[in-house]
Amino acid sequence: MSILPLKSLLAFKERADLNLCQEFICFNPARLPTPAQWVTVERIRVKEAFTRVWWMSPTTKPKADNRHVLTKYSKSMKRLLEKGTYNSGRRPSQHRIGQKSFLTHHKGAIPPNVLVPPLQEMLVEVLPISNTRSDDPYQIYCRKHGIDPHPARMPMRLVEFFIEFLTDPGDLVLDPFAGSNTTGFAAESLGRHWLSIESQEQYVNASRARFQAADSNVQGK
Q: Could you read off the pLDDT of 146-181 as tens digits, one per residue?
A: 777 776 777 888 899 999 999 999 999 999 999 889
Q: Could you read off the pLDDT of 5-28 as tens digits, one per residue?
A: 999 999 999 999 999 999 998 877
Portion of the chain with pLDDT greater than 70, in percent: 79
Residues 65, 69, 71, CA angle at the centre, nearest 5°?
135
Q: Which helix (H) or strand (E) holds 164?
A: helix 156-166
- Whether residue 122 is contained in a domain is answered as no
Residue 194 has φ and ψ, to the nearest 5°, of -145, 155
- For 26-54, the three-class secondary structure string (H helix, E strand, C coil) is EECCCCCCCCHHHHHHCCCCCCCCEEEEE
- Whether residue 81 is contained in a domain is answered as no
Give the per-residue pLDDT at 135. 61
- Whether residue 88 is contained in a domain is answered as no
Q: Among the three residues 43, 69, 95, which one is the final residue of a domain in this structure? A: 69
Give the per-residue pLDDT at 99. 67
- Whether residue 97 is contained in a domain is answered as no
Q: Could you read off the pLDDT of 35-83 as tens digits, one per residue?
A: 889 999 999 999 888 888 999 999 999 999 999 988 888 888 888 888 8
Among the listed residues 16, 26, 215, the one whose alpha carbon sits nearest the alpha carbon of residue 131: 26
CA distance 184 to 218: 18
> pTM for this one?
0.76
Q: Could you read off the pLDDT of 110-148 as tens digits, one per residue?
A: 888 986 444 333 333 344 454 545 566 777 777 777 777
140 and 210, same domain (yes or no): yes
Cβ neighbours, 10 Å, residue 28: 17
Average pLDDT, integer, range 199-220: 73
- Whether residue 7 is contained in a domain is answered as yes
- Whether residue 197 is contained in a domain is answered as yes
Q: Which domain holds residue 58?
A: 1-69
- Whether residue 145 is contained in a domain is answered as yes
Q: Is 205 helix (H, G, I), strand (E, B) or coil?
A: helix
Specify burial of residue 117 (Cβ count, 10 A radius: 0-12, 13-18, 19+). Answer: middle
- Whether residue 83 is contained in a domain is answered as no
62 and 137, same domain (yes or no): no
Q: Please tell me the total count of domains within the chain.
A: 2
CA distance 74 to 94: 24
